[in-house]
Chain A
Amino acid sequence: MKRYGWLMSNIMNTTGAWDYMGKQANGAPQGAARFNFDNLNMDQIKSQSSVWLSTFTVVGERSRGDESGKAGGGDNLNDGITIDEAATGVSAFGFANEVKSELLQLGMKGADWGVAGARYVKVVRGAGIAGSVFGMGVSGYHIYTDYSQGGIDAVNGWDVTDFGVGVVGLGATIFLASNPVGWIIGGGVTIYFGARFVYDISTKPQKQ
């Protein structure tokens, strides 16, 4: 008995992609094959050192010395292999190669998503803190001037609301921005102050 795994392993290793393990390892689902990615950049497959493929059922073994349907004799690959065995081996290789390509693409897609996601977080975070500082600066100024001129009744409720929204945005930027809740709050605060700014410009009389 000889495994086709060595062939697949040798060819796959030319890409630095994996080390094929033909036999079922401990803990693997029935009929599954395990692929280790020792030579692969871990960032590309999102920190997974191995992947279980439940649909991979071809181990790729051939028997030698079977007298029926021989294509030839001897120990080399061209001898002692039936057409079916050769087809199985080629199919196994083709399937494995396809799986490898899919995994590599998945890994690369994941890496791209990670970079894009990190950029998105940066943008939202920056926008969140800019919106918060803007809103708190405006509302702080208005609250103080209104209060010093007319007491607590002169303080506009909108300014207090703006200040509160700015505080939430600042708090989310500092303490939550690494998770989606922080992103949503940071983005929401920026949109809120953007809308307030447009409303302010469009409703207040133009200065001479």
Chain B
Amino acid sequence: MSLYYKIWVDAIVYEKTKHGDMRNWKPYTLIPISVLQGINLLTVFFWLSTFNIKLDIFIDFNLFPGEMLDGFLSGFLTLFLPFIVLNYLFVFRRKKYDDLIEKYDYRKGKLYLIYFLTTILIFILPIIIGKWVL
């Protein structure tokens, strides 16, 4: 949980420092981090699936023309929305981020960047290697 809050503090202060003039740092931290956490969850299920533990985690929809909107709705509800709600409760509710910023050090966005790169690479590299390299 400590690492979770440290990443949040790094992301919030980084966003405020770099794009503070736009005055919309809340959605621009909440959405990207929730997306990254959704990818973390997807990575876990992906690796479980590799070991034949296949869980049908997605809610399937068949509402819109084409496949993209249905896929997005399914992905959004399964991967992103739960984390948006949880992050809001853990970080934004009652301005808890103010206490967190006091408690944890700002690392100039490095921790945020490392979290971003690690999340992406752990998910996408095995797929690229498995599909095109091996």
A contact set with B: CB distance below 8 Å? 118, 121-122, 125, 129, 132-134, 136-138, 140-145, 147-148, 152-153, 155, 157, 160, 163-164, 167, 170-171, 173-175, 177-178, 196-197, 200-201, 203-204, 206-207
| Segment at the interface with A among B1-9, B30-38, B92-100 | B30-38
Chain A residues whose C-beta falls within 8 Å of the C-beta of B80 in the assembled complex: 133, 137
* Contact, CB under 8 Å: A200 / B67: yes
* Contact, CB under 8 Å: B68 / A197: yes
Give the residue name and chain of the B residue nearest to A198 (CB). B66
* Contact, CB under 8 Å: A137 / B22: no
Known contacts A141-B74, A206-B65; 8 further A-B pairs (Cβ under 8 A): A118-B22, A125-B19, A141-B78, A141-B79, A143-B46, A160-B124, A170-B116, A171-B116
Give the residue name and chain of the B residue nearest to A177 (CB). B19
Question: From DSSP, what is the main secondary structure of chain A's interface residues?
Answer: helix
Q: Within the assembled complex, what's the spacing in Å between the Cα atoms of A141 and B113?
A: 24
Tell yes or no: B118 within 8 A of A by CB: no
Of the four ranges (under 10, 10 to 19, 20 to 34, 35 or more), the interface on chain B belongs to: 35 or more
Query: 28 pairs across A/B with beta carbons < 8 Å?
Result: A118-B21, A118-B22, A122-B24, A125-B19, A125-B28, A132-B35, A133-B35, A133-B76, A137-B74, A137-B76, A137-B79, A137-B80, A138-B75, A140-B75, A141-B72, A141-B78, A143-B46, A143-B127, A148-B54, A148-B56, A152-B127, A152-B131, A155-B127, A157-B131, A160-B128, A177-B19, A196-B68, A207-B62
* Contact, CB under 8 Å: A144 / B42: yes
Chain A residues whose C-beta falls within 8 Å of the C-beta of B21 in the assembled complex: 118
Tell yes or no: B120 within 8 A of A by CB: yes
Question: From DSSP, what is the main secondary structure of chain B's interface residues?
Answer: helix
Q: Tell which of A122, A133, A141 has the most Cβ of chain B within 10 Å.
A: A141
Tell yes or no: B26 within 8 A of A by CB: no
Name the one of B57, B58, B65, B72 contacting A204, with C-beta atoms under 8 angstroms.
B65
